[in-house]
Structure 1
Amino acid sequence: MANPWRGEVELVLGGERRVMRLTLGALAELEAALEEGSLVDLVRRFEGGACSSRDVLALIVAGLRGGGWQGSAADLVSAEIGGGPMVAARAAAELLARAFALPGGTG
């Protein structure tokens, strides 16, 4: 079960519950994977509803890897995500929000 106080978000991948978390290493990997802009630009795209499927995929991969998963973006191409693309997009947005939220919900 995901612990929101640790910035964790759950996602069902291939029928298995996985915990995603944006650790510092996962954030660095995410920033390197972004083709344009920075993490701040990524946050702005999500806040403005202008995120791409590439943004969602990069966040999901980074979050899964931060949660201990050893896969890559290529592994997700044919993976079944519980709830489909909209659930994945919501989980990615929640993951990003939790990574930058201050304890106690302020921020």
Structure 2
Amino acid sequence: MANPWAGEVAIVVNGKRRVMKLTLGALAELEAGLGEDSLVALVERFETGAFAAGDILALLVAGLRGGGWQGRTEDLLSAEIEGGPVEAARRAGELLARAFALPEQAGG
């Protein structure tokens, strides 16, 4: 089970439940992959609804890797995410919010 107090978010990929978490290493990888100087621009895109499919994919890959997944970005391109693109976007946003939430805000 995902622990919201630890910043974890669950997602079902190809019928298998996985736990995502944005660790420091996953955040650094995400930042480098997006070509941003900081994650503030990504947070702002999600807050304003101006995010792109690539943002969602990058967040999911980083979160899955932070949760111990050994896959590659290419593995998610053809993966079936339970709930489809809308659920993927919701989980990505939730993951980003939990990574930066104060402990009293992290509940889920």
Structure-to-structure mapping, 1:20-39, within 5 angstroms: 20-39=20-39
Moved over 3 A (4+): none
Provide Cα deviations, 1:25-80, integer angstroms capped at 9, x if missing partner: 00000000003453000000000000000000000000000000001110001111
Structure 2 residue ranges without an equivalent (≥5): none
Counterpart in the other structure of 1:74: 74
CA distance in 2, matches of 1:29, 1:87: 23
Over aligned residue pairs, what C-alpha RMSD do you find? 1.1
Counterpart in the other structure of 1:105: 105
3-state SS in 2 of match to 1:2: coil
Counterpart in the other structure of 2:12: 12
Structure 1 pair 58–42 and aligned structure 2 pair: CA distance change class (3 A): same
Q: Which one has the bigger helix percentage?
A: 2
- Aligned residue pairs: how many? 106
Structure 1 residue ranges without an equivalent (≥5): none
> Is 2:43 the partner of 1:43?
yes
1:105 is displaced (CA, Å) by 1.4
Structure 1 pair 67–12 and aligned structure 2 pair: CA distance change class (3 A): same
TM-score (norm 1): 0.96
Counterpart in the other structure of 2:57: 57
Provide Cα deviations, 1:76-104, integer angstroms capped at 9, x if missing partner: 01111001000000000000000000111
